Chain A
């Protein structure tokens, strides 16, 4: 599971008002190289919840991202930033671990990189 995906998932357990972002419990992180695409990064940047993203990256062991969302102008020409953004967004994979509902603490397992977001009977 990449952090791009994590930035789109939320806990919709019955009664939960703020199910985003999910906390991350790490058991195994794998790095998989992917070719960088600057246009893709520029297009996706406005859609990312930056705080959730940089916190998640930190949990995964990557501390190079700024905590606050940078000014969009850095996407124009700051190659160093683009590389770090790309790396955290697309190249870090949570292979084994869990996503945790921020309100209830309920854990959604992640196995072989695939999150299992199925709710139990009493959670719907």
Chain B
């Protein structure tokens, strides 16, 4: 099964570039936001082309099985939020409250996107795209007194998400369905807030993913995407360096990820759909302590024995964690936030 899931990463190299060390991209995102003028530049080819539909099905089955197998052990050790914590750059995180950092990640994302706390203007209908076991959904529903739908490919996650909602008295505010982010089962223009927290990296067709996010957003609604990207390409580059691509391929294999794109690819997609107030941020420095902490938890007695009991997919995912650290340290992997608003009618 694992062999069948080695994905074609659909390389689009037009020759290798003999640059060393890896070039610094000329458009670098600082941790402060930058507003983008609405220009219609087109995406590089590797993002435009979508995966074939049968490889998409295989990918989706892999994702569902990975999370069916792994969600329990993650929740056991890390709790209900399946995303990075947000830390002050360069801070000492030994003894840190990582769960508090995960909450902070949600709050910083809302702040970045300028979501109003004023009850008259706060979101009432929210969709959590790639909801995991529903941590964000429940948090946002509780925070805003809103109604939240969560969608996931994993039936195990949807069931657990519902059980947690029931246990937390949120059963009338949140609900979860097994559904595909690339074909969301909702009519157009539904949601005041469209939330995608660390799910974008699983989407094999980024243009379609973004199109669906925009379709289901209500006029005047906000879209927030927090996701892993690769570094932006320099002006003379058509692709990443071969060593960078190789690193990403190994991570893709273990985490059921399709081809990566860059933060500016997302920005261009939103621009092409005429979204407004597009902002992007680079939060790589703010999540740097997270992976060492996850590795630390895997090396505790509880973590280690849980892994041994979990399954091959989870173990494989665990073994690849140092590659994430390498990717962050070498500037290949970026942790990005992109926020924008759908024009009001």
Contacts and interface: CB of A to CB of B under 8 A. Distances in A.
Given A10-B186, A20-B187, A124-B53, A117 B172 contact: no
Contact of B185 (A9, A32, A40): A9
Nearest to B60: A118
A121 B125 CA distance: 30
Contacts of A111: 155
A40 B172 CA distance: 10
B171 A114 contact: no
Contacts of A112: 159, 162
A69 interface: no
Nearest to A20: B187
Interface in B177-234: 177-180, 182-187, 190
B155 A34 contact: no
A115 interface: yes
B54 interface: yes
B175 interface: yes
Nearest to B57: A121
A118 B179 contact: yes
A124 B208 CA distance: 11
A115 B162 CA distance: 12
B149 interface: yes
B254 interface: no
A5 B183 contact: no
A9 B180 contact: no
Given A115-B178, A116-B178, A117-B180, A12 B185 contact: yes
Given A1-B175, A116-B178, A124-B182, 8 more contacts: A1-B177, A8-B187, A112-B162, A115-B185, A118-B153, A121-B54, A121-B56, A124-B53
Nearest to B161: A114
Interface string A47-73: 100000000000000000000000000
A114 B179 contact: no
Interface residues of B, number: 30
Contact of A117 (B124, B147, B185): B185
B158 interface: yes
B176 interface: yes
Instruction: Across the A-B interface, give the 9 residue pairs with the lowest CB-CB distance, nearest first.
Output: A117-B185, A117-B179, A116-B178, A121-B53, A114-B158, A115-B177, A10-B187, A5-B175, A34-B172
B26 to A, nearest CB: 37
Contacts of A102: none
A10 B60 CA distance: 21
Nearest to B184: A12
Contacts of B151: 117
Nearest to A109: B178
Contact of A34 (B54, B171, B187, B190): B171
Interface in A68-118: 90, 108, 111-118
A98 B149 CA distance: 19
A30 interface: no
Contacts of B147: 4, 44
Contacts of A11: 185
A32 to B, nearest CB: 7
B159 A114 contact: yes
Interface in B122-178: 124-125, 147, 149, 151, 153, 155, 158-159, 162, 171-172, 175-178
Contacts of A114: 155, 158-159, 162, 176-178
